[in-house]
Structure 1
Amino acid sequence: MVTEVKIGSAESAHELVFSRAFAAPVDIVYRAWTDPDQLVHWWGPRGFSLTIRAMELKVGGVWDYVLHGPDGTDYPNRAVFEEIDPPKRLVFFNTGGHVSDRHLTCRMIVTFDGQDPHTLVTLRMLFASSASRDRAKARGAEEGGVESFARLSQWLARTGPSPQP
């Protein structure tokens, strides 16, 4: 299964949209997105690692995390959850990216469409402007999203079909 990427859409000209079907039921895929113990295994581009400082999964809750690049560069991020509708939808406003360029500042809307035994995940990254989106693309957001979805697919294949307690 391949990640489909769209630049802009009918809803907004200044977004990146990633879609991919995963070979796992919706509850398992949703949990991989909301369980810090799972997120650390797949969130971020290939070669990156993740430190989660806090993750409060509730409306108004904060997800404070740092992506660590393979070259040693840290990319601090802070997200605030705006909508949580398990296991269908997550919406959060993310502020972050490189310390000198907060290129990943955008609203992220994640939908989970369960069609057992698969789940279609769509991530919309809605930026303030097309210029902001283009800056994020120039810093690798498109490749990072594709690689992150690939890592999620690998994680789900390793962890098997059973939901974790």
Structure 2
Amino acid sequence: METNKTDAKEKEVWMSHLCDAPREVVFKAWTDPEQLRHWYAPDGCTIDILWMDVRPGGSFQTCIHNPVYGDCWCKGEYLEVLAPERLVFSIYITDPQGNRLADSGKDDKWPGIIITTVVFKTLGDKCSFTLHQTVAEELAKQTGAYQSWLQMFANLDKTIA
């Protein structure tokens, strides 16, 4: 039996969050490396942003330092940057030199490349955003990735407060 695209998308990660700040402030927190380093890592972890060129075709490399699981090196490319409305980027696991790894270290089913789309909307003097990732929600919950987003959203709120 063939699965239609709608069914497949519903099984992927879809999250929404409401921030007590204007859309421009929230978008900047996603695209300014100085702000990103304060919130873009799960609780108990830190992040190094080696570079970040936020423009269509631009790229980034980061390393999240996790005291329990070790370092997680990632690279990606910005596919769409439409300030302050939309941000789309790819992300994949690398070694410290930036070479893409076939094994993410998470799970055999973890995709080699994930596309993340964040859409920002104004709600009065607040901002609501929706995040979509091309990974199964169940798998994201099993690996802790889903819970990490929830922690990072709470950290984002503290950063923009």
Question: TM > 0.5 between the two?
Answer: yes
Instruction: Note the 1:9-20 alignment, pairs <5 A.
Output: 12-20=9-17
What's the RMSD between the two structures over aligned residues?
A: 2.2
Distance 1:43 1:100, change over 3 A: same
Secondary structure at the counterpart of residue 64 of structure 1: strand
Between the two proteins, the alignment pairs up a number of residues equal to 145
Cα distance in 2 between the residues matched to 1:41 and 1:73 = 19
1:100 matched to which residue of 2? 105
Q: Deviations over 1:109-162 (max 9, x none)?
A: 0011012310001111113xx4xx5433321011101111011011111xxxxx
Q: Deviations over 1:42-83 (max 9, x none)?
A: 002111110001101111111110111132600111111101
Cα distance in 1 between the residues matched to 2:37 and 2:81 = 20
1:114 matched to which residue of 2? 122
Q: Deviations over 1:69-106 (max 9, x none)?
A: 13260011111110110000000111128853484731
- Higher Cα Rg, which structure: 2
> Which among 155, 159, 162 is matched to residue 159 of structure 2?
155
Cα distance in 2 between the residues matched to 1:72 and 1:16 = 23
Where does the alignment leave 5 or more consecutive residues of structure 1 unmatched? Answer: 1-8, 158-165
Instruction: Note the 1:69-80 alignment, pairs <5 A.
Output: 69-71=66-68, 73-80=70-77
Where does the alignment leave 5 or more consecutive residues of structure 2 unmatched? Answer: 1-5, 95-102
Task: Note if contact 1:63-1:79 (Cα within 8 Å) is conserved in structure 2.
Answer: yes
Taking only the aligned residue pairs, the percentage that are identical comes to 28
Amino acid at match of 2:132: R
TM-score, normalising length: structure 2: 0.81
How far has the Cα of 1:11 moved from its partner?
6.9
Task: Note if contact 2:30-2:36 (Cα within 8 Å) is conserved in structure 1.
Answer: yes
TM-score, normalising length: structure 1: 0.79
